[in-house]
A and B are shown apart, each in its own frame.
Chain A
């Protein structure tokens, strides 16, 4: 049963990822990305990470993909990427070579390690043995004790990112120095 869930979710994940690459229209690619993110959320639930699955759906599918769609809308949907044109000679074959090379390296690493150690024979404990505490409780306890400094730094990072995004994206008023004017002056 677990393996069937994994197979279906994995197929959705990989199919959606291939869709992100294959669709020329950015909107279709973004919707394909949603499929991938939902598949990953299903995998999280299957591994007893319910809170993370909820966060995945809310943050990724709810916020990030909407941001993508918003920017695509702002830039115009008709600017689709023509997948047949290659401005740099050999870019796509080299990219394919890099992708397949990384895949081969990681597969060799996983399979050779799996052959010798316990990864192939020992079952994941989270699914087999239900923990005494719910998932969210232990996660929150860890976040606010052991990893509290990282949590604070992440908060600062998010604040900086929001301020930076607003500064970059807003149109400057008259008589204000703008980032664009600086770039144009140098160009």
Chain B
């Protein structure tokens, strides 16, 4: 296994996630795109760890997974609350702070 192929795959996945975060308006879909970004980071961490022959990369990836779980829990709760207040999960509709 070469290192480069994992890095390129990670870059590709990251960019797909960035596009999803910026282009989607549905709050749940934006959270899914954030998951894609976090997974691309995990691919890179494990690839670098395997490249250097240490499991430290896997430890970091494990922490990333734990933080992603926490983030999704709170994020989906916020989406639920936005839906209850505005009966819409369209993120463009949540513009209370707009001047």
Chain A residues with CB under 8 Å of chain B are 2-3, 6, 10, 13-14, 17-18, 20-21, 26, 29-30, 33, 36-37, 40, 43-44, 46-49, 51-52, 55-56, 59-60, 63-64, 67-68, 71-72, 74-75, 79-81, 87-88, 91-92, 94-96, 98-100, 102-103, 106-107, 110-111, 114, 119-120, 122-127, 129, 131, 135, 138-139, 142-143, 147, 150, 154, 157-158, 160-162, 164-166, 168-169, 179-180, 183-184, 187
Contact = CB atoms under 8 A, between A and B. Distances in A.
B67 A157 contact: yes
A179 to B, nearest CB: 7
Contact of A107 (B11, B68, B72, B90): B11
A69 to B, nearest CB: 10
B85 A180 contact: yes
B16 A21 contact: yes
A63 B69 contact: yes
A95 B87 CA distance: 26
Contact of B59 (A21, A143, A184): A143
Given A21-B19, A161-B74, A126 B53 contact: yes
Query: Chain A: interface secondary structure?
Result: helix
Contacts of A135: 55, 58
Contacts of B92: 87-88
B39 A40 contact: yes
Nearest to B81: A168
Contact of A95 (B19, B31, B79, B96): B19
Interface of B: 1-9, 11-20, 22-26, 28-29, 31-33, 35-36, 39, 42-43, 46-47, 49-53, 55-56, 58-59, 61-63, 65-74, 76-81, 83-85, 89-90, 92, 96
Contact of A124 (B3, B19, B66, B83): B3
16 contacts: A3-B1, A17-B12, A20-B16, A29-B29, A47-B6, A47-B47, A49-B46, A49-B49, A60-B39, A72-B28, A95-B23, A120-B2, A124-B47, A154-B66, A168-B74, A179-B81
Contacts of A3: 1, 5
A60 B38 CA distance: 11
A92 B58 contact: no
A55 B22 contact: no
B17 A44 contact: no
Nearest to B57: A49
Contacts of A129: 53
Given A164-B74, A165-B74, A46 B4 contact: no
B63 A124 contact: no
Contact of B58 (A36, A64, A79, A139): A139
